[in-house]
């Protein structure tokens, strides 16, 4: 596997600074954020290290090649199935721009969310999934680009209550969505941490969906049992969980990586830092990436 990191944690850095940091610290790749320019709607969003509206293909290719760093995927994680049709339209247009950029840059992978209307049931949301996503997936397929949906529920605070803002969160939903959209370029950006706090097995789905895993995240999660005992699973999750650096939470990284090697996954493995303990400064955020790498290097001897 090729170890890298998601660039959202280096918000405020330029494209060159992100790639330089990756090269100087021995990373093989970076998942580069490509949000539209403008105010972010939430934390870790609104980061633009590739501007798909002003894409300098030759410069990006030459710079990353000179530094020996690959772009694992273009990252843009909106909610294109929300209850706001105007916002959905903007998100869909930008997803397609990311697909075109991935094609031009020979990255050929876009990581995103499928979205969800948080005020409707899973069944109600599934009724619109095919209508919205089939044309996007087919557009990407024509360009030789894969789309990987991260399995984050986007349900952490009262703003996302009650249903969350991303439908692709469980194996049961994966099966239904892949029945609706069977195209093989449509798959998963697999993150074990989101299964942990939902109290689900994060190993079994790796085997079942082995042919749909296009990219993986390395992020840990810690469940505070004493808090959970107070508020219960019906509370907003950040009342009893916290994202952590790999090795500081409840994910069994040996089992996770072993399962990935079992299925022959040797693609991009990207550290996603959302640990509040390391957000006090740019130095702390950079240190968090290297601390994660130092822990994971036991599984990445090369």
Summarised one tens digit per residue, pLDDT across range 226-284 is 999 999 999 999 999 999 999 999 999 999 999 999 999 999 999 999 999 999 999 99
Q: At what angle do helices 15-24 and 57-67 cross, to 10 degrees?
A: 20
pLDDT at res. 300: 80
**Cα angle: 290, vertex 166, 91; to 5 degrees:** 90
For residue 157, pLDDT over 90 is answered with: no
Name residue, tokens 């939470």.
249
For residue 43, pLDDT over 80 is answered with: no
Q: Provide the b/e sequence for 244-256 (b: ≥16 CB within 10 Å).
A: bbbebbebebeeb
Confidence of residue 302 (pLDDT cuts 50, 70, 90): low
User: Smallest Cα–Cα separation from 219: which of 19, 25, 31, 11?
Assistant: 31
Alpha carbon distance 80, 146 (integer Å): 18
């Amino acid at each position: 596997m090729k170890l890298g990191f998601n660039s959202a944690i280096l918000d405020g850095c330029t494209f060159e600074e992100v790639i330089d940091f990756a090269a100087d610290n021995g990373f093989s790749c970076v998942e580069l954020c490509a949000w539209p320019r403008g105010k972010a709607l939430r934390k870790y969003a609104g980061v633009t290290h590739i501007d798909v509206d002003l894409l300098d293909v030759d410069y990006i290719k030459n710079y990353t090649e000179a530094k020996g760093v690959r772009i694992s995927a273009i990252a843009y994680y909106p909610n294109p199935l929300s209850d706001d049709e105007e916002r959905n339209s903007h998100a869909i247009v930008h997803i397609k721009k990311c697909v075109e950029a991935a094609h031009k840059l020979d990255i050929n992978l876009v990581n995103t969310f499928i979205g969800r209307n948080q005020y409707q049931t899973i069944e109600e949301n599934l009724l619109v999934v095919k209508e919205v996503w089939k044309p996007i997936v087919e557009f990407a397929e024509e360009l030789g680009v894969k789309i990987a949906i991260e399995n984050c529920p986007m349900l952490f605070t009262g703003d996302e209550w009650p249903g969350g803002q991303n439908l692709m969160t469980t194996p049961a939903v994966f099966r239904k969505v892949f029945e609706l959209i069977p195209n093989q370029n449509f798959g998963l950006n697999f993150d074990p941490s989101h299964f942990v706090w939902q109290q689900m097995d994060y190993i079994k789905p790796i085997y079942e969906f082995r042919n749909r895993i296009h990219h993986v995240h390395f992020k840990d999660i810690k469940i505070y049992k004493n808090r959970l005992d107070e508020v219960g699973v019906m509370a907003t999750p950040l009342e009893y969980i916290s994202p952590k650096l790999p090795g500081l939470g409840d994910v069994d990284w040996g089992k996770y990586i072993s399962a990935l090697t079992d299925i022959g996954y040797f693609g991009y493995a990207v550290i996603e830092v959302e640990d509040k303990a390391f957000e006090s400064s740019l130095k702390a955020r950079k240190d968090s990436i290297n601390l994660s790498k130092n822990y994971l290097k036991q599984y990445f001897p090369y």
